[in-house]
Amino acid sequence: MAFTLNSYPVVYRAKYTESGGWTEEFIEKPHKTPQEEAQLPKTEATALSDSRNFYNDMPLVNYTTQYGLGCFEGLKALPQKNGGFAIFRPGENGKRFHNSMKGLFMPPFPADIFVKAAVEMIRRNINLGFCPSYKAEWEKDSFMNADSIYIRPFSYSEGGIGVNISKEPWVIMIGTPVSAYFSGGSSDALVTDRIRATPKGTGWIKADSNYVIAALAKHEAVEQGYMECIFLDAVDRKYVEEGSSSNIFFYLKSGELITPELGDTILPGITRLSLMELARDRGVKVVERKIAIDEIFSEAKECFVSGTAAGAVPISSITHNGKKATFTFPGELSSELQKTLKGMQYGLIPDTKGWLTKI
Ligand SMILES: *Cc1c(COP(=O)(O)O)cnc(C)c1O
């Protein structure tokens, strides 16, 4: 599996106290050398990996475990063609994490500390030898099967049982190796009638609680042979919002690239932001607006979803109420955007945007 947890040994942890603010630490969890670990029998390797995911000094019963009060981030450190590693737009993730915590009435974690912590956590793991190495063969299929380090920052609340906000949370960052996210198979999407986010809700926050509905709807879609589910808006039940954990784009016959406008129900993706800029650079007219599912059936020639895990992923069809809209697959624009984005991320083409933070 491409997206499994095998936490690297060095973890970052910060804790907020109302009297002292944020205090930081790097924790080195149990490990051997990567070479020794690769030689371990399966059960021992799993036990060692699991031990890095356990903490005996954090409360079990709290607002995160009981009520899903928490938020998280996802970003990547990528091995570079010319050596070394770089993190893609960590400042943007830092800002979003800050906004998420604020939106959940937690003490917001400063974005600059977020970036420094991510860089240092990855650096320490690399120094222990825990990192993938760049392979020229990845260039052949635009890094479709390339490895990277996934960084998962998240909040975790102090102990408590009543429904409440978190005043003294932890912020933790772990790294885990990843390869291709959507690993082959179906490229079809299914419109779900479940509702992911409502106006005045938390859809715009990368909040833990949003992903229960997303996981259920995605599971239902996958059970029926689809790759992804697509959510419609909660009020009119006709405007496309996004996927389970990805934003969505439609390239219309008119030549316009449309992505649903942000509000309080759509997650402001950093890949979304980056792809809009890369499309504009190519001279494509990019418009953020509401787009009805009916319009997609008549006007869209290409569709792709976007997110950190996979970049720009082409969608071959969308099924809604038993009817199927089909798209050029893989579309020319999505392929070109994916190629540019991945090329930049892995240092194959120059980072003209200043999007990479070197480690
Ligand atoms: C994380 C996420 C995205 C994609 O955001 P990126 O910053 O591009 O990774 C889109 N939609 C949802 C619901 C998400 O959770």
pLDDT at 182: 55
For residues 272 and 248, give the distance between their C-alpha atoms in angstroms, rounded to a whole number: 8
Q: Report the candidate in 144, 132, 139, 147 with the shortest Cα–Cα distance to residue 179.
A: 147
CA of 38 to the centre of ligand 1 (A): 32
pLDDT at 185: 84
pLDDT at 51: 95
For residue range 230-268, what is the model confidence (pLDDT) as tens digits?
Answer: 999 999 999 999 999 999 999 999 999 999 999 999 999
Quick check: CB of 333 below 6 Å from ligand 1? no
Which residue has the CA at smallest separation from atom 3 of ligand 1?
246
For residue range 30-73, what is the model confidence (pLDDT) as tens digits?
Answer: 999 999 999 999 999 999 999 999 999 999 999 999 999 999 99
For residue range 173-214, what is the model confidence (pLDDT) as tens digits?
Answer: 999 999 865 556 899 999 999 999 999 999 999 999 999 999
Quick check: CB of 274 below 6 Å from ligand 1? no
pLDDT band at 339 (very low <50, low <70, confident <90, very high): very high
For residues 346 and 348, give the distance between their C-alpha atoms in angstroms, rounded to a whole number: 6
Beta strands in the chain (DSSP E): 10-17, 21-28, 75-79, 85-88, 148-156, 170-178, 188-192, 228-232, 240-243, 247-252, 256-259, 285-288, 300-307, 311-314, 317-320, 323-326, 356-358
CA of 36 to the centre of ligand 1 (A): 35
CA of 117 to the centre of ligand 1 (A): 21
- 279 to each of 251, 255, 332, 340, 350, how far by Cα in Å? 11, 11, 12, 10, 17
Looking from the CA of 90 toward its CB, the CA atoms found within 13 Å total: 27
* Percent of the chain topping pLDDT 90: 95
pLDDT, mean over the chain: 96
Classify residue 20 by burial, with Cβ atoms within 10 Å: 0-12, 13-18, 19+: exposed
* Percent of the chain topping pLDDT 70: 98
Q: Out of 196, 272, 337, give the residue to mutate to test ligand 1, the one with the largest number of ligand atoms within 8 Å of its CB.
A: 272
Which residue has the CA at smallest separation from atom 2 of ligand 1?
245
Beta strands in 182-316 (DSSP E): 188-192, 228-232, 240-243, 247-252, 256-259, 285-288, 300-307, 311-314
Q: What is the mean pLDDT of residues 303-316?
A: 95
CA of 321 to the centre of ligand 1 (A): 26
Q: Which amino acid is at 39?
A: Q
Classify residue 350 by burial, with Cβ atoms within 10 Å: 0-12, 13-18, 19+: exposed
Q: Report the candidate in 41, 55, 45 with the shortest Cα–Cα distance to residue 5.
A: 45
Residue 247 contacts residue 272 (beta carbons within 8 Å): yes
Residue 63 contacts residue 160 (beta carbons within 8 Å): yes
CA of 284 to the centre of ligand 1 (A): 23
Tokens found for residue 285: 């007219």
Which residue has the CA at smallest separation from atom 12 of ligand 1?
245
Residue 217 contacts residue 196 (beta carbons within 8 Å): yes
pLDDT at 183: 57
pLDDT at 227: 95
Quick check: CB of 308 below 6 Å from ligand 1? yes
pLDDT at 191: 98
For residues 355 and 311, give the distance between their C-alpha atoms in angstroms, rounded to a whole number: 14
Q: Out of 3, 93, 154, 246, give the residue to mutate to test ligand 1, the one with the largest number of ligand atoms within 8 Å of its CB.
A: 246
Q: How many residues does the chain have?
A: 359
Atom of ligand 1 nearest to the CA of 308: 9
Q: What is the mean pLDDT of residues 91-100?
A: 98
Tokens found for residue 65: 């475990």
Provide the 3-class DSSP secondary structure of residue 257: strand
Beta-bridged to residue 285, according to DSSP, are 256
Supply the pTM of this predicted model: 0.97
- 177 to each of 29, 143, 166, 317, 342, how far by Cα in Å? 16, 15, 30, 30, 17
pLDDT band at 1 (very low <50, low <70, confident <90, very high): very low
Residue 328 contacts residue 319 (beta carbons within 8 Å): no
Quick check: CB of 100 below 6 Å from ligand 1? no
114-123 b/e with 16+ CB inside 10 Å = b? Answer: bbbbbbbbbe
